[in-house]
Every structure is written in structure tokens, then in C-alpha cells.
Amino acid sequence: MNDIKEVRSAHLDDFYYKVKHQSGLTVYIYPKNKNNSTYAVFGTKYGSIDNCFKIAGEKEPHKVPDGIAHYLEHKLFESEDGDAFARYAKTGASANAYTSFYNTCYLFSCTQNVYESLEILLDFVQSPYFTKETVQKEQGIIGQEIKMYDDDPQWCVLFDLLEAMYHNHPVKNDIAGTVASIARITPELLYECYNTFYNLNNMVLCVAGNVDAEKVIAMCDKMLKPSKPIRIDRIFEEEPRHIVRARVEKKLAVASPMFNLGFKEDAGGPMAGVEKVARTDILLEALAGDFTKLYRSLLDKGLINENTFGKEYFEGPGFASVIFGGDSKDPDAAAEEIKKEIERVRREGIDAADFRMAQKSLYGHSVSALNDVGNIANSLAALSLSGRDFFGYIDAIADADIDGVNARLETQLMPEYSSLSVVKPFG
């Protein structure tokens, strides 16, 4: 039997259905019936960092090549009878997929033929088809993609930063792997990883938009193959608290210098709860939001570009950091300005007016995002696969207090654990 619950926000007049399907899959249905479009995400808790894992009951861990999760994402669209994109073309849906550090998601959006498109999604993701010939063909395609990213300045400035911060954690490795690592991928390895991580108990389906919940569940009843629960232990080498190096620099074909300034955090335990994430996000907005003295000072001095500057709490299983970044005529000066402001706030605390502005800004952004069915479906998937509640994050922002946000500075944004990654133009 399917277990169906209605989940409502403590602060918003909005709800969604959470269904524990009899197959083992968790299904989220977020009706937005005044919307013309529908967006669906079928995701698994499996990403680039999962290169060493152990299945409950087995003695030895599985060690697989870097890039295999991304490789598997590419290959699942193919079948013996063709590919999923050709099938979607007949329903008019727009389809895509992505692999992150710890998730892989398959998605489509459409304005018609919703349930036919949903049937395609549930079908091809559950129907792996790998042969030696097709796997070898994909190695060349992904190899070209890897080489392309080697010249992408935004990609390079991030992964150079991660390599400067992390000694052992696989978050420092490129999501797509390397040309050498993907050359070791075989059909057998793909099936091994698929059968482990594409277990429905390790996956979620999120559908948002103009949908009928009963019809979504009926399609799940028709298409989902029951899965026995499986326990997967993800194995990471111990990660030291200290960074690898304080500064790295690379020259690429860019018009102006770019930087990423990262502050490594101790993240040896489980992923943070929504309260910790919400407080961190409010802290970053109060520090460097576009209404702050720091932001205006950086902008007035030409140390940031208003179109590229950003900040984020970058975290996942076994890793966490805060990253500031963007274009800058003087990345080192920008980094020093940011560090000085962090230390001032550590001494004096967040200004009460800045706290209120940051809280209102983040809350307003989160609420307005509920008008976007794509944002809803992707956020539901990401939060669920991280063990977090969708409305919990919004409620945590609304309920945050300034003391709790200031307390984040006791363990975050420590200058001794910071690294600066810079990409500069040739010449």
C-alpha cells in the first residue's frame, strides 16, 4: 500500500503530498494548478564523490573510477530501441539531466502530455542498457567534454579552490572524472553502480505544476518495479581540518581576473540540518548582500562585478565551506576586504538592521521561488536527497534569531582555514 501524507508549511498557505510508494520510492507531488506547465525530477542520492562504497552484508568496499556517476547519467538515456530524447520529442517535453557531487537527477518540463512524459521518465531511468561498444563510444564524447572544462575559467577557479582546501575528500575531483579514469569504465562497472544506487529506496520523484496527484500515483503504480531496501555506506578518507595551501593561481583566456575565496569548515559528521543552513545563508547575506557596506565598498573600489559576485554555503556529505567569488580587477585585495569585514563582524556581531534585511530578503526570495515549478521540483529533490524538509528551510529562515546567526561565526569563516583561487588573463 502507498502511504500518502499532506505536508503544509508553518508560515505559508501552501502544501504538497509526500508519498511513500509501495515500490520503495519517495514521491513528492506539489500541485500548482494555476500554472500552465509541469516539471518532474527523478533523482538518486548518487554523485561524483561516491567513488568508494560498501553495501551492507559485504566484506569488501567497491572502489570505482572517478566520473562514473556522470558517465552513467549519459548512458541511461540510451536503450536498445533508441534514446529517451527521441521519445520525448513525440510528447513535446523538454528533457535534461545533471550529475552533482552527491546527486544525479533526470528531468523534463512540459505544458501537455504530462503523464505520457512521466511514463517515459520512469521507464528509461529503470531500464539500463550498456554494451562494450556503446560504452567505448561514450568515452570519446565525455573525453571531449572533460577537455572543454579544462579551459572553462569558472570551472577551473572552483576546482582549483577545492584542491587547495581538501587533502583527501573526493569533492576536489572533477565531476566528470579524467580522460584516464573514464577509460577504465566498463559495462560491468556501470551495472554494479546502477544496481547499487538506482535502488528506488535511494531515490525520489518530484512532480510540480498542473498535475493530478491521483494520476501521478497511478502512473507510479504502473511503472515502478519494487525494490528491496539497501544500506549503502559511503567511504571517505579522513579529511584533515587544515587546508592544503592558502593561494593558487592559473592563467587562462579571460577578459578580467576571477577569484573564489573559500573558508573550509569541519564537516566530518552528517550533513547540516535546515536550521544550520538557514542561519549560514542569513549570515552570508548580512555580510555581503547587495545592501551591505561591504558590497558597496567592493563595488565602489572596482573589486567586484555586480553581475558576477556571489556567495554560497557549499556543502555535502563530508565537506562544507563558504565560498565568495566573481570577477575582480584585484582578487587579492577583494579577498582581504572580505576577510576584514568577517573579523569585524566576529568582534562586534551582526548589525540588527542588517540581520532583519538579510532575513526578509532570503524569506522573500524563497517564497517567490514557489511560483516557479522548476525551482520547486529541483529544490524538493535536492532537499529530500539531503535528508531535509522542503518547508523546513523556509520556516527556519522565518524563525531564525540574530544570536543563532552570530553563533555560526564560532565555527565558520575562520581565516586560518581559507584559500584563494585566482584565474588571470594571459600576458
The residues that bridge with 232 in the sheet, in sequence order, are 55
**Measuring CA to CA, how many Å separate 205 from each of 4, 26, 39, 116, 133?**
14, 6, 11, 15, 31
C-beta separation of 103 from 385 below 8 A: yes
Give the count of beta carbons closer than 10 Å to the beta carbon of residue 360: 13
The residues that bridge with 26 in the sheet, in sequence order, are 20, 204
- Burial (CB count <10 Å: 0-12, 13-18, 19+), residue 66: buried
Nearest to 324 by CA among 415, 214, 400, 389: 415
Distance CA 357, CA 406 (A): 15
**φ, ψ at 26 (rounded to 5°):** -90, 125
Nearest to 123 by CA among 162, 152, 80, 154: 80
Question: Could you say which of 6, 73, 188, 275 is catalytic?
Answer: 73
In 224-351, which ranges are continuous DSSP H helix? 274-288, 293-300, 331-348
Residue 133 is among the residues annotated as catalytic for this protein: no
Helix axes 114-125, 84-91, angle to 10 degrees: 170
Helix (H, G, I), strand (E, B) or coil at 369: helix
Contact partners, residue 333, CB within 8 Å, separation at least 6: 301, 303
Say which residue the cell 539531466 belongs to: 97
At residue 343's C-alpha, the angle toward residues 342 and 347, to 5°, is 120
- Burial (CB count <10 Å: 0-12, 13-18, 19+), residue 398: middle
Helix (H, G, I), strand (E, B) or coil at 203: strand
Write out the catalytic residue numbers. Answer: 73
